Every structure is written in C-alpha cells, then in structure tokens.
Amino acid sequence: MTTRDASDLSKGGVSPTWEGIAVAPYDRDLELAVIEGNAIHRLVFPCRRTLGGWIKAETAERIVVQPTHWRPWVR
C-alpha cells in the first residue's frame, strides 16, 4: 500500500512516497511510520532494519515498534 502524506512536503513541493514495510531494505537509514486511525505518525530519528528487528540507526539501540511504512531517511 502506498500512501502520500500531504502535510509532509519535501523541498521542491513533492510529497515523498511511503513504501509498504514488507519491502523495507536492511542496513539502510530509513524513516518509519505507524498508521493509527487515519493519521500517519513518523518516528523522528533514523532507523535500520536488522535480522533481529528495528534499531535506532545512530545508537544501534533496539526499538519495539511495528511500523507500517517506510521511506529513505533524508538528512
């Protein structure tokens, strides 16, 4: 499922596309989102997918989250 978050426009006015979590790549900085009700909630730090689950990219601390979507982390 691909969702556009109209309130989150990137530079240039283009809304980045969220990808389904099932196709999230491993070992790459990602922005994660969770859908609750009709709202998209973004995590405010970069995350990485590992074989053991999700971690904070900067600290390698494991996080307990069940994200629904991802997109590349833009610094």
Q: Domain spans of the chain?
A: 19-72
Question: Can you give the pLDDT at residue 18?
Answer: 87
Higher pLDDT, 41 or 3: 41
Site of tokens 């922005």: 31
Question: Can you give the pLDDT at residue 19?
Answer: 93
5-24 residue pLDDT tens: 434 434 433 347 889 999 99
What gap in Å lies between CA 42 and CA 67, rounded to an integer? 9
pTM value surpassing 0.75: no
Question: Can you give the pLDDT at residue 9?
Answer: 38
36-65 residue pLDDT tens: 888 888 999 999 999 999 999 999 999 988
CB 70 within 8 A of CB 31: yes
